[in-house]
Chain A
Amino acid sequence: AQSVAQPEDQVNVAEGNPLTVKCTYSVSGNPYLFWYVQYPNRGLQFLLKYITGDNLVKGSYGFEAEFNKSQTSFHLKKPSALVSDSALYFCAVRDIGYGQNFVFGPGTRLSVLP
């Protein structure tokens, strides 16, 4: 069975500092991995995904994520945080098998302090 863990409920970072939001996953085969962001009372917005190839994936708004197969991790990163990055972040995994559904982590709330 697929599963996703986001070990931190809350991450606080000062504006201008680098940020990392952690995600680990478990799948039976090869994973497709995704990051989404959610602002209050809004739907989820897609940030980036890992399908295959380069382990460092670049996405929207300056975010990037590093896929590490040996550690089964897919951490979200940004070199310099903005106050406007404050939101709820979700990691999701989808098994490569046909018809597999997305499984979402519990979310990590990021607060960027001015």
Chain B
Amino acid sequence: DGGITQSPKYLFRKEGQNVTLSCEQNLNHDAMYWYRQDPGQGLRLIYYSQIVNDFQKGDIAEGYSVSREKKESFPLTVTSAQKNPTAFYLCASTQPFLGGNEQFFGPGTRLTVL
């Protein structure tokens, strides 16, 4: 999956618990993204970061938080404020300054609320 690792592959969360999903890339890309995928639906953008120490909300940021302290890492925290977090989460990266560059995706983390 192109130099992006996500861990864990499967994650189970109890009600009221915060959990953090890891995303690491060794592609030297400046931009990183988090998407949520629900069954039968496309990808919805949660957060993105164009450069280290900067990030912006996507379309469905409520109940999520991120940090971008290092170029290669973009962890996503699913907080207890996210009422329906069960989904497949995908991390991606690209080099943003050339618009024609494609995104590379990690293998995904499947989060299930118990």
Partners in one complex: yes
The answer to whether A94 and B99 have CB atoms under 8 Å apart is yes
CB distance from B102 to the nearest CB of A (A): 5
Is A61 at the interface (CB under 8 A from chain B)? no
In the complex, chain B residues whose CB is within 8 Å of the CB of A97? 99
Which residue of the partner chain, among A9, A45, A96, A107, contacts B99 with CB atoms under 8 Å?
A: A96
CB distance from B105 to the nearest CB of A (A): 4
26 contacts between A and B (CB under 8 A): A9-B40, A32-B100, A34-B103, A36-B105, A41-B108, A41-B110, A42-B1, A42-B107, A43-B1, A43-B4, A43-B6, A43-B90, A43-B108, A44-B43, A44-B105, A45-B1, A46-B2, A46-B103, A46-B104, A51-B100, A94-B99, A96-B99, A98-B96, A98-B97, A101-B58, A106-B41
